[in-house]
Amino acid sequence: MCTIRRFTLAALAISIASFNAAAATPDDSAPLGKLPRWVQPLAYQLDFRVDPHQPEYSGNATIDIELKQAADHLWLHGHDLSVSKVTLTDSSKKIYTAEYKVAAKKEGVATLEFGQTLPAGRYSVMLEYSAPFNQQLEGVYKVNSQGEPYVITQMEAISARYAFPGFDEPAFKTPFTLSLAVPENQVAVANTRQVREQKLADGWRKLSFATTKPLPTYLVAFAVGPWDVVNGPEIPATQWRPHATPLRGITPKGEGQRIKPALAETPAIIAALEDYFGFGYPFDKLDLLAAPDFAAGAMENPGLVTFRDYLMLLDANSPAHNVRSSFNVNAHELAHQWFGDTVTMPWWDDLWLNEAFATWMQSKITQQLHPEYRADLELIGGANYAMQNDSLVSVRRIRQPITGNGDIETAFDGITYQKGAAVLNMFERYLGADTFRKGVRAYIKQHQFSSATADDLIAALTKASGKDERLAKAMQSFLDQAGVPLVDTALSWENGKAVLHLKQQRYLPLGSTGEAKRLWGIPVCVRYSLAGGNAKTQCELLDQEQGQMVLQGASASSWYMPNADAAGYYRFNMAHNDLARLTDNIDKLPDTEQLAYADAINAGFGRGDLDAAAVLAAAPRLAKSDTREVVTALIPTLKWLSKYEVRSDTQRVRLTELARKLYLPQLQKLGYQRRVNESQDDALLRAALADFLALDIKLPEVRHALLVQGKQALLPNADGRLNLDAANPDLLRSVLAVSMQDDDSNAIDVLIKALGATSEPAQRMAMLAGLGSATAAGNAERARNLALDPRVKIGEMSTLLRASREDGEGRDAMWKWFTANYVQLIKRSGEMSGSRLPGLVAGDSCSQGEADRLTAFFQPLLEHLPGAERGLAQTREQTLLCTALRDKQNPEAILR
């Protein structure tokens, strides 16, 4: 009964709509950004026929749509699809034919022309098509691993249009029902559980999968190949989810065992996330898939999360860095099952609602389940890294308006992820963790299986906290404008009270052309010492240019830390005496605040307020910490000094001796081999110190120790593979890099030859990084040429190119190679890689000449490379800032 009544009402609504719109079929042009709203997809049935051994696949897409007005065409997405047949069926089963025409090839926009005006109403659109397997890791792509082809999907951001015709925009969330017809011996997986298997007449099998929850196109996923499928521990029922959920690992053939450590960690992550959200994992199963080649690190497809293989394939010989990343990335992707998959942003300008949240949540979950990983410090490190980028005039905002597909590509950057996470962390602290969680829970509940914007989130947090519009304005000031606030602080005694004067402006590095005047609503939290010796924290929302805080209980000799717990996304510049007093008390600061202190030193140097002498004076105080992140916090600035500022031998000697004195004893204490039961942090510290001392400072004793391991590692075994296990896996990159540079025998020949015989992903990455570190001109050229060689996977290319640009001469050679091979490089990696290209081939440049040749080369190419405009602007600006800093900073200060 109910059904009949609903049907009647719907039919009535349709007939009214069609009556009103009958006269006006839309007269519009191809939408290159958002699609018009007069067509609404309601559900997809996608039937694929996939044989990884073929160069192409075919599909049959049936899309239920609602035409909200009469029209003689509709717009949709489709990229590189050969559509052979299109029909529309209306609600009375009448069939119409239509023609599929490409409208904008580059953007993947197409039109269906009906040849007549169809009334508003519901239709079922059926498209038969075929398409090549993508060669550049987009859409439905194919990779070879150990001689076997595998087919994997990657739809985000806008590559679903390569996989099937549809409405490839995140606002359109609908159920998807997939089937995959595959040859007998192929394994196929998709977002949901398999519900049916049919044997087809040609011997193939047709696997049908359960209908998904409403999803945007960018989350649809499947994979076909000779996969190993490993059952993990079940994810037990919780108070938020009344049934257990199956968990599996999907790996390339023969690798199944190695995904078990990652599977073992997974149920606890899901349970912790459910407790936070108060909302059960909403999908019917969970598979983690190790992809043999992948454009990003991982992708949060609901029910079928895909990862780069090295993150999922672990064993006792895996580098500590990979083991930790495996957990962190898994926590990140699983956080997305709520942020992004359950609640989705309607448009790419709110990508931060996915990525900032997943980054912030990953940190929270890791801190809870693996406190020894110190995710709190990683979050601060990420914020400090984002602040470097956020100092540029050419930087994006967290919510950058999208003006073209290039802006969608460039939205996946440190601003969206790390700055966004830091801003969330700051406001969580300001509101209190419980209040913040209350707001987040309400937001997820209210918008589940639908879409929500930044304003929806801010409204939920405002409601939960009972705050007024000052909160909304403060949050918006960080979301909708670029830049890092710089808070000047000065403490003075006034009428027997300690008054802290605050003044805000934008942090701008030396040589910047930016405007410093800018206002944020900054939750400033200050920790200061009390007369009795204890410390206290006080917070204030600074949303005017100037403000002041009376530090209750402070004495005339109190020290203060302007960014308590380093939870604020701002930099600070303390009055001279205040900084000196803080420096004297640095031992009393928790390690979070020692990182904020280190950032203040790095930032002061970048602004030209501090010179090399000040950095070198601060380094010993931090280097003696017990915390790895603090020990290494000034290393980036020391590297910069070594690379750009040292002009004379005496300066070089001074810097080398300082580095030796500060860091070598720690490295020697750790030794060059793993010790039984050592902490993961010791392994990571060893790797960081060895890399810095051997490759940047070039300490002969460290290089020698690595070279000894390299000699062993480069001995070939009988099967043609190298004896790489002989080296400490945490040091393998550095070992191979030093071997490439110092070994006058044939290290390069040995490495290149072994590449074809090595499939272990961590070892391959170390080999490629080693090759990319070659300094001898002929070797460097051979290593770069490998980026165009089929023995190197697409996703591995950048590892080869990133390393080889250490000095001016190396960068010149790299540039010459790049400009000569540009066409082949783009042909291999795809135009989508364009946004990162300027930074990849010209990062670390530091002269006007390098900036100018970069612009001259890329400017004419911008219209072909989506996103490259911002990549070019940022790389150029970084180059000019580096040049200005080098010109201003006095190298003689190294000797003071």
Residues forming the site for Zn ion (CB under 5 A): 355, 358
Closer by beta carbon to Zn ion, 358 or else 444: 358
Name the minimum Å distance from CB 248 to Zn ion.
21
Q: At its nearest, how many Å lie between Zn ion and the CB of residue 154?
A: 13
139 or 420, CB closer to Zn ion? 420
Alpha carbon 53 to its chain's center: 32
Q: How far is the CB of 379 from Zn ion (least distance, A)?
A: 15
Query: Shortest Cβ distance from residue 376 to Zn ion (Å)?
Result: 19
Tell me the two tokens of residue 385. 């890294």
Q: Which is nearer to Zn ion, 353 or 630 (CB)?
A: 353
Whether residue 731 contacts residue 690, with contact meaning beta carbons closer than 8 Å, is answered with yes
CB nearer Zn ion, residue 215 or residue 358 = 358
Minimum CB distance to Zn ion smaller for 136 or for 416: 416
* Choice between 155 and 464, CB closer to Zn ion: 155
Alpha-carbon distance 1 to 367, whole Å?
53
- Rounded least distance, CB 386 to Zn ion, Å: 15
DSSP string over 872-883: HHHHHHHHHHHH
Closest distance to Zn ion from the beta carbon of 87 (Å): 38
Which DSSP string corresponds to 573-596? Answer: EE-HHHHHHHHHTGGGS-HHHHHH
User: Closest separation between CB of residue 320 and Zn ion, Å?
Assistant: 23
CA distance 766 to 643: 23
- Of the pair 297, 839, the CB lying nearest Zn ion is at 297
Neighbours of 510 (CB within 10 A): 16
Q: Residue 355 or residue 796: which is nearer to Zn ion going by CB?
A: 355
Q: Which residues contact 860 (CB under 8 A, 6 or more apart)?
A: none
Taking the complex as a whole, the smallest distance from the CB of residue 336 to Zn ion amounts, in Å, to 6
CB of 300 to Zn ion, least distance (A): 6
Contact 758, 767 (CB under 8 A): yes
The rounded distance, in Å, linking the Cα atoms of 457 and 208 is 37
Q: Which is nearer to Zn ion, 340 or 406 (CB)?
A: 340
> Which two three-digit tokens encode residue 185?
């011996």
Pick 355 or 645: Cβ nearer Zn ion? 355
Nearer to Zn ion, 364 or 703 (CB): 364
In whole angstroms, the minimum distance from the beta carbon of 420 to Zn ion comes to: 11
Q: Is 270 left (phi over 0), alpha (psi -120 to 50) or beta?
A: alpha
Q: Looking at beta carbons only, is 354 or 763 nearer to Zn ion?
A: 354
- Burial of 583: CB neighbours in 10 Å, binned 0-12, 13-18, 19+: middle
Q: Which residues contact 368 (CB under 8 A, 6 or more apart)?
A: 272
* Residue 47 or 355 having the CB closest to Zn ion: 355
Which of 226/297 has CB closer to Zn ion? 297
Nearer Cβ to Zn ion (299/752) = 299
Strands 228-231 and 247-251: antiparallel
Question: How far apart are CB 330 and Zn ion at their closest, in Å?
Answer: 11
CB-count exposure of residue 5 (10 Å: 0-12, 13-18, 19+): exposed
Minimum gap (Å) between residue 28 Cβ and Zn ion: 34
How large is the C-alpha radius of gyration of the chain? 29
Position closest to Zn ion via CB: 358
Nearer to Zn ion, 228 or 355 (CB): 355
- Going from the C-alpha of 265 to that of each of 288, 317, 370, 718, the distances in angstroms are 12, 18, 10, 36
Q: Minimum CB separation from Zn ion for residue 246, in Å?
A: 24
Q: Please state the closest distance from residue 340 (CB atom) to Zn ion, in A.
A: 7
Min dist. Cβ of residue 402 to Zn ion (A): 18
Q: What is the bridge-based pairing of β-strands 535-542 and 546-550?
A: unpaired
Q: Is 211 helix (H, G, I), strand (E, B) or coil?
A: coil
- 799 vs 204: CA distance, rounded Å: 39
CA distance 356 to 144: 33
Contact 136, 49 (CB under 8 A): no
Three-state DSSP class for residue 223: strand
Q: DSSP class of residue 52?
A: T
Facing residues of 62 across strands?
Answer: 45, 126
Pure H helices in 624-697: 628-631, 635-640, 649-670, 680-691
- Least distance between Zn ion and beta carbon 321 (Å): 19
Please spell the DSSP secondary structure of 111-122, one letter per residue. Answer: EEEEEEEEPSEE
Let me know if 466 is exposed, middle or buried by CB neighbors in 10 A (0-12, 13-18, 19+).
exposed
For the chain, how long is the longest CA-to-CA vector?
Answer: 93
CB of residue 233 to Zn ion, shortest distance in Å = 24
Beta strands 298-299 and 247-251, pairing class: unpaired
**Cis peptide preceding 713, ω within 30 of 0:** no
Q: What are phi and psi of 108, to 5 degrees?
A: 70, 40
Among residues 261, 317, 319, 385, the alpha carbon closest in space to that of 686 is found at 319
Vertex 421 angle, CA 419 and 427, to 5°: 100
Kindly tell me which of 381 and 604 has the beta carbon lying closer to Zn ion: 381
Distance CA 825, CA 726 (A): 34
CA-nearest of 697, 702, 691 to 737 is: 691
